[in-house]
Every structure is written in structure tokens, then in C-alpha cells.
Amino acid sequence: MDNRPIGFFDSGLGGLTCIPYLMKALPDERMIYFGDTARTPYGSKAASTIRSFSMEIADFLVRSDVKMIVIACNTVSATCLELLRNRFPQIPILGIIDPAARKAAQSCDSRNNIGIIGTKVTINSGTYKSLISSYNDRLNIYETACPAFVPLIEEGIIDNEIMDLTIKYYMDDFVYGNKLDTVILGCTHYPLIKKNIERIYPDLDIINPSSIVVSKIRQVLEERNMLAENSEFSNIFYASDLSENFVNMIDHIFENESADARVKFKNFDLENGERHI
């Protein structure tokens, strides 16, 4: 048993899409989440910039005594997983891409046309394609970057025509031109527009890595005998620039929890520590 929290991080609020699945599958686990809202989006930045931001956040999570780090960001998983594992060998570090790639490889065959959507960095890295192919090399895989999705989602522009038009702008030719039947949401922000995508392309099967990573978290904690039991720890959600959308989303995730939802928010500057808003 290990009642220390699990550390999650993302460039912003996208990684929060993993949290409801974690709470459902592993209700005894507690978490520390860091969203780098002051520096989002990561997905169009240089790999060296993403590496230095990710090292700072992972350092902070390790100092906060988390028992595991989940990189709830495809962009960071594509660029920094090995780097972070080498830097912190004492702690299990999970990326979000591999469990989803394995699942896609198992559930699809050569009759399927699989599309991956993600940030520029994730798509240019080819990580999804190479991991899926390493599990099953007979699949038809197509990829495209959708760089405007993350800024719109961070702004809360979701349930409206602007988002629908942006989805069509990036995806119409991609979906119809490649006769896609399956799409992988290769960015943790995208589950927040899953309903829009389902409405616009009702025949697509959607693979959501934010839900799939939770089975991997369970497996690793079980193998190491690190599952929590009756932890008293309060979940903490840090943002480097606490936005209304970030707070609203956490409120929404915990709305059905008991009054002592055991959640704290903090506005946090990695260099100077806690800041008041």
C-alpha cells in the first residue's frame, strides 16, 4: 500500500480529462495535478523548450513526494518520456501514448483506416505511428496536426460554431479523403471536443487515450504493491496561471462528490512558489 498521491501534468487543462476515469476506476487514489496554463500551448514549441518546461514540472512533482508521474500530455510524452525516466529512475513515469497505441493495434486490423489527430509536435514526432506499427505493422495509419484546437479549448470555446468550423477545417479532407473509420484523440485536450467530433462525423469510432491510460496506472501500481487505501490526502490542482476555465473544469469533475470534495486549487509559480490571485 502507498497513500502518497499520483502526480499528473499537462501544458494546461487537457490532462484533467484523465481525472474522471481515474476517480471511477481507482477511487482511493489521490492526486497532485500541475497545469502549465501560463505557458500553454506546448504543441507548437521547440522540443528543447518543452523539455525544459517538463523537467521543471517533474522536479516539482517529485519534490511534492508523488508516488508516480503520469504525463497527461501527448506532446510531452512524445518528446520527454525517456528524458524524464532517466532523470527520475526512482519513480514510475507513464506516458499517455503507449497504452492507446497498443489498444489501437489490438482493436483494429488492415480493413480499418485509422487517423491520428494531435499537436504539431506530437504528429511530427511520428510517435503514435511508430508505436502502433511496432504492435501491428499491417494497419493503415494517417496523421494530421490541428494546432488551433488547444488555444480554443483553453479559452472555453467549445460548444459553438467556431469550434465546429475549426474541426471541419482540419478534419473534413482528412476524414473523407482517407476514408477514416477510426480516430485517435492524440492530445489530452481533445476529449473536451469529442462530442463535437461525434456529431460532425457520426460514423467514426473514437479512441480516447485519457481513458485508456488509467488501466496502465492500475497495472503498474498493482505490480509494485502501491495502490492507496483510505488516503487522507487532499487532491491538489496547481496551475501556473489559474484561469476561470481551469477552476470551472475541476468544479465540474467534482460536482457529484461529497461536500468535502477534498480539492484545493493553487496558483503556482515554479520559480517563486505559491502566488495569490
The grid coordinates listed for 171 are 478534419
Residue 108 annotated among the catalytic residues of the structure:
no
Q: Alpha-carbon distance 208 to 166, whole Å?
A: 20
In this complex, which beta carbon is closest to ligand DGL, that of residue 209 or of residue 228? 209
CA 219, distance to chain mean position in Å, is: 18
Q: How many residues bind ligand DGL (CB under 6 A)?
A: 17
In this complex, which beta carbon is closest to ligand DGL, that of residue 4 or of residue 20? 20
Q: Alpha-carbon distance 198 to 10, whole Å?
A: 24
94 has which bridge partners?
70
3-state secondary structure of 51: helix
Residue span binding ligand DGL (CB under 6 A) among the ranges 35-43, 156-164, 170-178, 251-259: 35-43
14 binding ligand DGL? (CB under 6 A): yes
**Given the residues 18, 80, 146, 187, the one annotated as active site:** 187
Residue 18 annotated among the catalytic residues of the structure:
no
Number of H helices, E strands in the chain: 11, 11
Q: Which of 34, 42, 237, 238 binds ligand DGL (CB under 6 A)?
A: 42
Nearest approach in angstroms of CB 185 to ligand DGL is: 9
Residue span binding ligand DGL (CB under 6 A) among the ranges 57-65, 72-80, 105-113, 125-133: 72-80
Torsion sign (Cα): 46, 49, 55, 61: negative
Query: Are the C-beta atoms of 57 and 269 separated by less than 8 Å?
Result: no
**Given the residues 73, 80, 108, 146, the one annotated as active site:** 73
Query: Are the C-beta atoms of 115 and 182 separated by less than 8 Å?
Result: yes
Q: Judge if the upstream peptide bond of residue 41 is cis by omega within 30 degrees of 0.
A: yes
Nearest approach in angstroms of CB 107 to ligand DGL is: 21
Nearest approach in angstroms of CB 39 to ligand DGL is: 9
Q: Which of residues 142-181 bind ligand DGL (CB under 6 A)?
A: 150
The grid coordinates listed for 10 are 499537462
274 has which bridge partners?
268
In this complex, which beta carbon is closest to ligand DGL, that of residue 102 or of residue 262? 102
54 binding ligand DGL? (CB under 6 A): no
246 binding ligand DGL? (CB under 6 A): no
**Residues with catalytic function:** 73, 187
Q: Which residues bind ligand DGL (CB under 6 A)?
A: 10-12, 14, 40-43, 73-75, 119, 122, 150, 187-189
